Homo-oligomer: A and B are copies of this chain.
Amino acid sequence: MAETRVRIRKRKTLTDQLYGQILEQIVSGQLQEGDKLPSEHQICDAFAVSRPVVREALRRLQEDHLIESRRGVGSFVRKRPPQGLIEYASADSVAGLMRAMEARMTVESATARMAAQRADSADLTKISDALDALEQSMALRQPSRDPDFAFHLAVAEASHNEVYVAMLQSAQEVMQRAIDVAQSITRGGSQARVDRVLLEHRQIYEAILSRDAEAAGLSMAYHLLQARQRITDHAREE
């Protein structure tokens, strides 16, 4: 059992490393948009990893919209992420950050929905205060991880279910690193991008304030979807 666990962890590490190595080649331009990747077989040989590791890494690169797999043809580079991505995070850690964003979408759409139904006035003040702090910090183009995390935690607390809060805290470290990366990229981006990030947070707050559970859950899911795409998406926002 313990040995199985070690093997799983090792395979995950290898997968994340392979993901990171292919990512680096895309970011550096060694692999260009439209380029075909080597075959699964060639990747196995080149990186000395097993077939399942290659498949998992390719599956994730595709889910993160970085490559596109065409059945029976092969995999192709879809888009080139911003240089900043592998400056702000080690390439090995990017796959893990994306998984953290996936898990956040699940948990935080639920907390936003419930916050709209259950928040009392103290909760609303706390969310609103975090939003104000985030707006001030981002207006000054300062690192804004703490008010950002505080906003999301305040929404979770307004769900009045401490199990969700504990879940977010159990993933706090990787969540905060994901926020750091996204914030760093945004901070170097256009004013329009900064405005959009703030608007997304404001919409979540307003939906909660309006007691509109569906809108709150949806606005949170949309915000995290956008945040996830901002991490790997170069061109759109400039």
Taking the closest CB of chain B, its distance from the CB of A14, in whole angstroms, is: 13
User: Does residue A91 face the partner (Cβ distance < 8 Å to B)?
Assistant: no
Query: Are B166 and A170 in contact, CB atoms less than 8 angstroms apart?
Result: yes
Point out the residues of chain B lying under 8 angstroms from A99, CB to CB. Answer: 161-163
Specify how many copies of this chain sit in the oligomer: 4
Taking the closest CB of chain B, its distance from the CB of A226, in whole angstroms, is: 9
Query: Are A163 and B171 in contact, CB atoms less than 8 angstroms apart?
Result: yes
Residue of B nearest to A175 (CB): B163
Q: How many residues of A contact B (CB 8 A)?
A: 40
Query: Are A100 and B163 in contact, CB atoms less than 8 angstroms apart?
Result: yes
Query: Are A118 and B212 in contact, CB atoms less than 8 angstroms apart?
Result: no
Taking the closest CB of chain B, its distance from the CB of A171, in whole angstroms, is: 5
**What is the 8 Å Cβ interface bit string for chain A, positions 160-180, against chain B (1 contact, 0 not)?**
111110110111001000000
Given A52-B120, A106-B107; A12-B162 close (CB under 8 Å) = yes
User: Does residue A146 face the partner (Cβ distance < 8 Å to B)?
Assistant: no
